Structures are given as structure tokens and as C-alpha cells.
Amino acid sequence: MSRELNFKQELTGAFGDPISENPTQVMIEAAYRHHGLDWRYLTIEVKRGDLAAAVSGAKAMGFRGFNCTIPHKVAVIEHLDGLGESARLMGAVNCVVRRGSEWIGENTDGKGFVDSLGTLTNPRGKKVVIFGAGGAARAISVELALAGASHLTIVNRSPSRGEELVRLLREDVRVAADLVASHQEYTIPDGTDVVINATSIGLFPDIHARVPLNAGSLKSGMVVADVIPNPPITPLVRDARRAGCQVIDGLGMLVNQGVLGIQYWTGIQADPVVMRQALEKVFS
């Protein structure tokens, strides 16, 4: 007896602009193959003004969910039926999940980052300097605070976004937080445990751009993390290695938030090693 054939894959994907440099598909589809899932993850360029149509299209085509990246993480919220707890607190969604007939916005960025940081250090009681106040910085700072970080310094070029994030951290998350609103070179204070680049500085194609920090102030006891996934070896990663810091590159966060996304969409616990290896292969 021949078994029933199925030529229709389950669909997931990423909506963003720019998106062509985003390597998420490589690791997610590696996980789907590894775990025997006949699913696809499509990398889709969606312009700012086309988001509503894209979300309607995903619903019409029966997507199981999708990631959102720049510039859609906040704008997508009005097209959804509800938000998970982290997404509500952060006011940003990077992972949309179809649950029955409802479309729910989750945020896996910060949790993915904290899982990745946890391979080197426990954030509890740590003093952290974070460059950036956009979606990635919001997600990371909120989850670090929830994980017990004792003090957060936000360094951001534009004061308004920085002030908004510090207010959120102090008033809604109730963690000690300060703002340094500057694009001048910042000297990392002695006593800092963790330094994070959560800006888009260093992202392809601008791969030589440098985070405005005094590399001489990076000390060997510090953990330094960069969120830039492409290329994973940024000028900051190089400076931090040279200074003897423990370093987490952008693939760590990417893989761990991907594991969480797959769990939301499929219910399975994907193997992060398979996912990281797939990314390393394309970047080698």
C-alpha cells in the first residue's frame, strides 16, 4: 500500500528590510531537516509600508508564524491579537506565533541573549553597559534585569530613545539604570562585568564601523557580547579578544532565539549545536 504523499510544507519566515543579509533561514531550516520536519523558513523583504499586506498574506497562506526584524518589531503589534509577557513589557515583537485562530506576538531576542550569556556568566548581581536603545537593546536590558542584573548603563546616540528605555527599566522593570546620551568614545567604567553592543554598528555591509568605545578600557575580567550576526567577527569582538575578555558573538543570541522560535511554532526543542554549525559553515 502506498503511503499518502504530501507536497505542502508548513511555512514560517522572516519579514524585514533590509533582510537579504539575515542568515536566520540557514539555521532554522537546518534544525527542521535535523528533526525531520517538512517545514520551510522564507527570508522575505517587506517594505515599511507593506507590513499590513504582508501580515494579511501570511494569515491567508496559513503561515505557522514568522519573525519580524527592522523596521517591523513595533509596527507589527497593531496587526496581532495579543502579546506574550516579554513582548508586552518591551513593546516589541520579534516572533509571531499562530495559536489556533489567534496571532500572538512574542519576544525571544532578550531570552535568547540571556541563554547565550548564561554559557559564560550568570547575570545575577552584574553591572552591565549596553550600547543602543533600539529593539535589541530593549529586549536584552529587560531580560537581563528580570534575570537579576544589578545595574544597567544605557549608552545611546539619540537622547530620546535612551531616556525612554531608562524610564522603562526604572519604572516598569524596577532596576537601577542610567543613561549616557553620547556618540563620543565612551570609557567603560572599572567594575563593569558585562559590555554589550546592541546597536546595528558593524552589520553588513558596514563591517568596519566601530562601536564608540575606548578599546583600552576593556579589561580581561569583562564579558563582551556583540549582537551583530553578520559578520559574527566584528571590530568589537576582535578588540575584546585582544583585551583578554570572554566574548560572545552575535551567532550565540541568534541561535538561542531561534531555538525559542522553533519551540513556539513547532513544539520541539531544537538542537542548538546543529543550528550553530549550519551558520558557521556559511560564514567560514
Interface contacts to ligand NDP, rule CB under 6 A? 70, 73, 109, 112, 132-137, 156-158, 161, 183, 199-201, 203, 227-229, 250, 253-254, 257
Closest CB 85 distance from ligand NDP, rounded Å: 19
Considering the candidates 73, 111, 219, 281, report the single residue annotated as catalytic: 73
Please state the closest distance from residue 130 (CB atom) to ligand NDP, in A: 10
- Beta carbon nearer to ligand NDP, 133 or 188: 133
Q: Taking the CA of residue 133 as centre, how many other CA atoms within 13 Å lie in the half-sphere pointing to its CB?
A: 25
Cβ 228 to ligand NDP, closest distance in Å? 5
Which of 21/81 has CB closer to ligand NDP? 21
**Can 73 be counted among the known catalytic residues?**
yes
DSSP 31-66: HHHHTT--EEEEEEE--GGGHHHHHHHHHHTT-SEE
Distance between CA atoms of 187 and 129, rounded to whole angstroms?
10
Distance in angstroms between the alpha carbons of the first and the last residue of the chain: 46
Does residue 105 contact residue 78 with C-beta atoms inside 8 Å? no
- Residue 219 and residue 265: Cα distance in Å, rounded? 40
Q: How far apart are CA 224 and CA 230, in angstroms?
A: 17
Which alpha helices (DSSP H) does 100-192 contain, by range?
A: 109-117, 135-146, 159-167
Is 220 buried (19+), middle (13-18) or exposed (0-12) by CB count in 10 A?
exposed
Task: Write out the H or E segment, with its range, that includes residue 83.
Answer: strand 82-83
> If 0-12 CB within 10 Å is exposed, 13-18 middle and 19+ buried, where does residue 8 land?
exposed
Residue nearest ligand NDP (C-beta atom): 134
Residue among 245 and 260 whose Cβ is closer to ligand NDP = 260
Residue (21 or 38) nearer to ligand NDP, CB: 21
Q: Return the number of the residue (227 or 262) whose C-beta is nearest ligand NDP.
A: 227
Q: How far is the CB of 75 from ligand NDP (least distance, A)?
A: 11
**157 or 219, CB closer to ligand NDP?**
157
**Least CB distance to ligand NDP at residue 100 (A):** 27
Element (H, E) at 86: helix 85-90
Please, what is the minimum distance in Å from the beta carbon of residue 44 to ligand NDP? 16
Catalytic residues: 73
